[in-house]
Chains A and B, each alone.
Chain A
């Protein structure tokens, strides 16, 4: 049972190898971590400079050139194929008042594009001016309140597209 490994070298070259390939390699250990290889009748000198077994990364010097090798086992390949991208960001539609208070300032307009953590409005409560920051990137669909309005907890303030 030869499992397939993807081996990437210097982030440029990629090879598909398995145990068959490595057993076929004509290499002789000259010293610890130093090898003499014959491939297609051409000789090569190889030396393992650095090895990180856990990360599956090796630094190999071949004929005086240094190569960074990264090995992916079948599980790594599977994970890549499954396409675990970055975490899905919560798409929040409605911004509601987290507490009762007074609307002191509104810093956005309908139709405005905002980025996550932009200051949308200021709600005074608990004797504090609380800046309500945007929970996401998006476009303001509607603003349900006006400056000077008093709101209670849970009141709708802003809706996103």
Chain B
């Protein structure tokens, strides 16, 4: 019996070392934690149960049978994070560079299936050189198995990918289909084709970092939702993100305890500047509405003219979508529409109510916008919001012009409550533009065009640049004081807690993608 026990313990000890101490040390030298260390750090003390520790690959081509590692380069299993059940896979760069083989993929698929069955989030820590070339098509098959399960799980359980090393070639599609992609600055990169092939084909010289590093993907492509400074921060950020999400689509996110007070926030009264042309930071409005320090921003540096993120309102997890007047006057464009649309659909999948803060003067004009298809992407956001059945409440702080008014969660597309501040300007377009069109003759007839235009502009603004016409029609449910916004929202979302919405019976709609 003793021998048998020793045999088991030896195997476990060997498996725990992955590709060996030397390789682990190399990871440390590159300021990266090993896969096992990452899992240990992420999971609650002593909660992790590993599945498939002793799995090995089955290839003998190219002498592969001489090199066997227990676990085959990925650690899979389940544990708890802050007491909540989660499933995880963490690729081990020290074993064959974390490359994916048939068995490696099988392990991942196994936990993904369990996550769906048990209704718990799936977390992937990616750190892999790509397909294990020696396995040939088998590894491609492995990838596809994973992709398929990503889709089966999509909208059923939250799926979060953290890219903590290389992730190249086909491997990138899995994170792309998960709900959130996190990257570590300086030590992770993602691309479909690497710099070598790029150079060979297009003669472009570019480094891995430039091509697909954390900065590139968080500012240019929007592939990365969150960027962290190092491994530890990334895992801390992951834990924090998880706290806003439910276990599965059958549940609502856990509510934090909160003692209600008077909830008036006087600082909001001073946020909107006197001049309608002066910008302000919408982040200030957000912080004046939500629970202190509860904002978790997604896509912080991408399409900065719109802000999306999670927050808490009296302990309840909510999603926030807000135009940002500081950037491009807060207009909607191709990227901002895509950013907000995907966020909306995620919240809708997982029963997270939405707050939409509006200060939008319209859509960004220009050939690159039109030729990029602002029509389709703007429609995407309109569609996503219209389709969402979670409680959604709108607050118009200032401008809401033209089509953008309709798009930004207006009453007509099914918003549950629509509030507007006294500074709201709900109009078909800005006073100047409207006057130029409506009073064209009067202006051209006048002696002083400028003065006449200004006169007409002021007249128009008086009459139309306010929330009252919309309020008279019931398009706005209530015009509220800025400092009361938080109170109103807390009460609204409490009222909307048990909302049930019926969607027509269909396989799925055809959102313009």
State yes or no: do A and B touch (Cβ within 8 Å): yes
Q: List the interface of chain A (C-beta within 8 A of B).
A: 53-54, 56, 75, 78-79, 82-88, 90, 98-100, 124-131, 133
One of B37, B228, B233 near A78 (C-beta < 8 A) = B37
In whole Å, how far is A111's beta carbon from the nearest beta carbon of chain B?
A: 26
- Residue in contact with A75 in the complex, picked from B41, B44, B230, CB distance below 8 Å: B41
Among residues of A, the one whose C-beta sits closest to the C-beta of B218 is A90
A100 to B362, CA, bound (A): 16
Chain A residue nearest to B184 (CB atoms) is A87
* B326→A126 contact, CB < 8 A: no
Whether B442 is near chain A, meaning CB under 8 Å from some CB there, is no
Q: How far is the CA of A85 from the CA of B231 in the complex (A)?
A: 11
Interface of A is mostly: loop
Interface residues as binary, B350-379 with A (CB distance below 8 Å gives 1, 0 otherwise): 000000000001101010000000000000
B328 near A53 with CB under 8 A, answer no
- Give the CA-CA distance A85 to B139 in the complex, in Å: 37
CB closest residue in chain A, given B325: A128
For residue B327, CB closer than 8 A to chain A, the reply is yes
- Cα distance, A85 to B326, chains bound together (Å): 30
A148 to chain B, nearest CB (A): 17
Q: Which of B82, B229, B233, B361 contacts A127 (CB 8 A)?
A: B361
Residue A128 contacts which of B40, B229, B361 (CB distance < 8 angstroms)? B361
Say whether B202 faces chain A, with CB atoms less than 8 Å apart: no
Residues of A with C-beta under 8 A to B28: 78, 82
- Flag whether B331 is at the interface (Cβ < 8 A): yes
Q: Is B215 within 8 A of A90, CB to CB?
A: yes
With A and B bound together, what is the CA distance between A79 and B38 in angstroms? 10
Main secondary structure of the interface of B (DSSP, over half): loop
Q: Is B507 an interface residue (CB 8 A)?
A: no
Expressed in whole angstroms, the Cα–Cα distance for A84 and B184 within the complex equals 12
Give the complex CA separation of A86 and B41 in angstroms: 18
B185 interfacial by beta-carbon distance below 8 Å: yes
A99 → B minimal CB distance (Å): 5
Please tell me if B278 contacts chain A, counting CB pairs below 8 Å. yes
Residue of B nearest to A1 (CB): B13
> Is the C-beta of B279 less than 8 angstroms from some C-beta in chain A?
yes
Report whether B45 and A56 are in contact in the complex, using a CB–CB cutoff of 8 Å: yes
Whether B278 pairs with A79 at a CB distance below 8 angstroms is no
Instruction: Given contact pairs A124-B277, A128-B325, enumerate 9 new A-B contacts (beta carbons under 8 Å).
Output: A83-B31, A85-B229, A88-B229, A125-B328, A128-B277, A128-B361, A130-B326, A130-B327, A131-B279
Shortest distance between the CB of A52 and any CB in chain B (Å):
10
| Complex: chain A residue closest to B361, CB-CB | A126
Complex alpha-carbon distance, A131 and B329, angstroms: 10
Query: Nearest chain A CB to B362's CB is how many angstroms away?
Result: 8
